Structure 1
Amino acid sequence: MNDVVIHHRGNIDLELDAALLFYRSKAGDIYATQHTARVVDDRPVLLPGTPMTLEGLADFVELAARRTSYRGFVHDRVVYLAPNTLAWWLPAGTRRVWFKTTSKLADRSGECNHPPLLFIVNRRSWSVFALRHNERPGAGSRLYQAPYFNVWDDGRICVGNADTPKTISSDSIKPYEDAFFRSRFTHANTPRLIRRRGGAVRLWLDLLEGAEFPLHQLIDTKRTLADVINNLTDKD
């Protein structure tokens, strides 16, 4: 058995106390037992275990959550929150954008109108979708292609050298939004970002001239908020 090294701020004495053993069936069912643990002749020994109750498991999860999960007041725009996963919506509004492209957009920048958006972050990816209605989305809300450069058709954002938060919590909402809008949009990651003659380039040229955002031209992803969240959490 390899040695286990535990790092802790400050001086603290730790003694082996207990262990949890998890058993999994081929069907995916999980059974857990809790064992008292002792050190005998400098070797760890597990004593006979007892089935772990739901109450005991809840206590364990609560203790772990104090270190691994967000605790605090939930941001009023959050629509889904779980360990290492956060989704929130951003109402339609005016934001400044910057471009650095080889198209007619060149290196233009300016204030323009944006559609309502939905952002999702987890440990592996950072995604954005557009919404057709300027209201808080629910589980069944349809998601639309976010018509931005540097965004894939599945919603994933090409991070590039953007400075994103190191943790996922309600406190990271503004930093993520700032990182997205303050980046330089350089190229389309998918052939079709909007149902509009002239495509995304024409769209953003018009928006930079003060046009209203054409919500009716958004491309339907054929997925709901619940579809995307379930797909992400199934991979965790």
Structure 2
Amino acid sequence: MNSTMKNLTDNFSHLYQPVKTLLIYTKHTEEDTTSVYVESYDIGKLGNPINAHPLTVKEMLGLSAIFQSAQEFKTNFLRCRGVMPNKVLYVNPEQAGYAVWYTPPQEVPLYFANALGIKSGKGKVPAMVWKAGREELCVYALKGHRKPVANTVLHHAPFFNVATDGKVCMGTVRINIGQETRLEEFTALWEKYFWNSYFSHLMGEFNPVTENIVQLWQQQVATDRVFPCQLLKPTRYTLKNLFV
């Protein structure tokens, strides 16, 4: 056993102590293949199974409560607390889980690294589509202000720190989204993480707009103009490509 495994085993043994073990018998006959008998053992001071007895009703109820709690904990992730928010486009809570949602054109705080020569401040941004799991975020831009449909063309998000496939480099931002996070909190957290992070560099030197991106954001922060959507570059994706 290597040192890492030994440390994990020692820590587990220190925090958790076995108290009970179950032995499950199944009946295998042509007439009956579904009967199950469960035998319960207590764990003695030396770690050996003792006091064998049929699983009691109290033990069964306790075991059922554990399974029910685990199921509720699992399914709370991305569950809505109330009415489904209008901005949500798609939710897949299975396995790793992810959500896709939309935000209309808005004015937001924008933070830029000093090296870019752009003063941080509020600026107007285009409508956006967001796709996120617990640890990864992708963003895209939309022309206009209408809520997208399946065949709506997605455009490159006109920001620094975003790759050509939409994936966001979050830098040193600490992402903390728990397995029990509800849908409303999930979308709000990701929007907060994104807008509160510092834009610092282009990904792979790709310019997501048709003019100088530094000059674009210098003007957006310095003025009150609506984001010029004619500068957006289309991606090869439509909205339905995100539902995978």
Question: 1:171 Cα deviation (Å)?
Answer: 1.6
Identity within the alignment, %: 23
**1:201 paired residue number:** 214
Question: 1:79 Cα deviation (Å)?
Answer: 0.7
Helix, strand or coil at the partner of 2:203: coil
Larger radius of gyration: 2
- Structure 1, 217-226 or 162-171: larger mean CA deviation: 162-171
Q: Which has the higher helix share?
A: 2
**1:87 paired residue number:** 100
**1:171 paired residue number:** 185
Give the alignment's Cα RMSD to 1 decimal. Answer: 3.3
CA distance in 2, matches of 1:18, 1:124: 42
1:139 aligns with one of 128, 133, 150 = 150
Question: 1:13 Cα deviation (Å)?
Answer: 7.7
Q: Highest relative contact order (Cα 8 Å, sep 6+), 1 or 2? A: 2
Question: 1:126 Cα deviation (Å)?
Answer: 0.9
2:237 aligns with one of 223, 226, 234 = 223
Q: Is the 8 A contact 2:24 2:39 kept in 1?
A: no
The C-alpha deviation readout for 1:167-225, integer Å capped at 9, x for no partner, is 352222112111111111111114221012xx211110111121321111111002111
Q: Is the 8 A contact 1:18 1:35 kept in 2?
A: no
Helix, strand or coil at the partner of 1:102: helix
Q: Is the 8 A contact 1:17 1:36 kept in 2?
A: no
Helix, strand or coil at the partner of 2:187: helix
So what's the TM-score if we normalise by structure 2?
0.65
Q: Is the 8 A contact 1:165 1:176 kept in 2?
A: no
So what's the TM-score if we normalise by structure 1?
0.67
**2:60 paired residue number:** none
Change (3 A) 1:150 1:65: same
- Counterpart amino acid of residue 100 in structure 1: A
> How many pairs align?
185
CA distance in 2, matches of 1:91, 1:35: 56
Q: Is the 8 A contact 1:101 1:187 kept in 2?
A: no
**1:212 counterpart = 2:226:** yes
Change (3 A) 1:166 1:201: same
Give structure 2 stretches of 5+ with no counterpart.
1-11, 13-18, 27-32, 42-67
Question: 1:228 Cα deviation (Å)?
Answer: 2.3
Q: Is the 8 A contact 1:165 1:172 kept in 2?
A: no
Change (3 A) 1:104 1:40: closer
**1:67 counterpart = 2:81:** no
